[in-house]
Amino acid sequence: MSWLVKAPQTQDALSRRFRERISEGPIWVLPGVYDGLSGLLARQTGFDGLYLSGAAYAASRGLPDLGLMNSTEVSERAAEIVNAARTPLLVDIDTGYGGVLNVARAGREMVKAGVAAVQIEDQHLPKKCGHLNGKRLVSADQMVEKIRVLRETAPTLSIVARTDARGVEGLESAWDRANRYAAAGADAIFVEALESVEEFRHTARQVTAPLLANMTEFGRTPYLTVDEFASLGYRLLIFPVSALRVAAHAMETFYRALQSEGTQRGWLERMQTREDLYALLRYDDYEALDQTIARSVLPSTPEG
């Protein structure tokens, strides 16, 4: 239920829940969401934690995943999702939007937005998708400094540190960086773009921190199930862009049909009904909050 009709939990409480879940287990699935509506839908279907992907957010604005967003834009979208879904949200803040001062600002803005945790990576700007070539890394020392400043300036914020070293410097470097980031204060580690079950297994043995796995599509990682990742020892599992890809494909298909057929009639069975949408949005609760609004009666379905 939205914050307007029921107060949300505090940022500190949401972050404590995040830390408890990754500490105690079992594996926690965080589906990717990109706006308030997708957050509501994921929460309604039973997910009690969510992930705001930088790639999905950029795509929702018609932009590529190249680090073009700033901390204010992302924190505003994050606040929208937290207010709608009222559940812990992990937010991808890319490289922290610049240097140490930018990271400090981003951390403070995410706390203000009610975000439970942030994910920060060790790439240079402009950053790239972790499953593409041509990535450039900052030094491990620079990344450690960013983690420490997040811990200092936003102490209630949980931190997931991502390294892209697997595809640039190799697995040994990725493991070394991961353990340094954990020692600097990261609550969990994300080693991006692992390419086999064995790499996931060895990483779980080499890294002394709770681990996040990324089950993205059309990348370098094989398609594993939640249970398979759990058996390998992972505590967090994200599906960052899956829902957006499904939604985008469905919308494109619908627009083509509308263009060629001139009607939406053939799509009615594949649409969320007005009644279901209003129930999802808690329409009645908003009307009840303002007694001057006449209670709405849904229109009957037209014939023909």
> Count of CB atoms within 10 A of residue 260's CB?
7
pLDDT of residue 3: 59
Question: For residue 51, what are the β-bridge partners?
Answer: 32, 90
CB 117 within 8 A of CB 82: no
pLDDT of residue 86: 93
* 105, 107, 110, 115 alpha-carbon torsion, rounded to 10°: 180
Backbone angles phi, psi at 191, to 5 degrees: -95, 110
Distance CA(191)–CA(278), nearest Å, equals 40
pLDDT of residue 132: 62
Distance CA(57)–CA(32), nearest Å, equals 10
Beta pairing, strands 188-191 & 236-239: unpaired
Domains and CATH numbers, the chain: 11-247 (3.20.20.60)
CB 32 within 8 A of CB 242: yes
Q: Among positive and negative, which fits the CA dihedral 44, 73, 114, 158?
A: positive
pLDDT of residue 7: 65
How far is the CA of 157 from the CAs of 128, 191, 221, in angstroms? 25, 20, 29
pLDDT of residue 272: 93
**Long-range contacts of range 109-113, CB-CB < 8 Å, 24 or more positions apart?**
109/71, 109/72, 109/75, 110/71, 110/75, 110/78, 110/154, 110/157, 111/11, 111/154, 111/156, 111/157, 112/11, 112/75, 112/79, 113/11, 113/75, 113/76, 113/78, 113/79, 113/82
What pLDDT tens digit does each residue of the chain (304 aa) get?
465 656 668 999 999 999 999 998 899 999 999 999 999 999 999 999 999 999 999 999 999 988 889 999 999 999 999 999 999 999 999 999 999 999 999 999 999 999 999 999 999 777 766 666 767 899 999 999 999 999 999 999 999 999 999 988 899 999 999 999 999 999 999 999 899 999 999 999 999 999 999 999 998 899 999 999 999 999 999 999 999 999 999 999 999 999 999 999 999 999 999 999 999 998 888 888 877 766 777 777 676 5
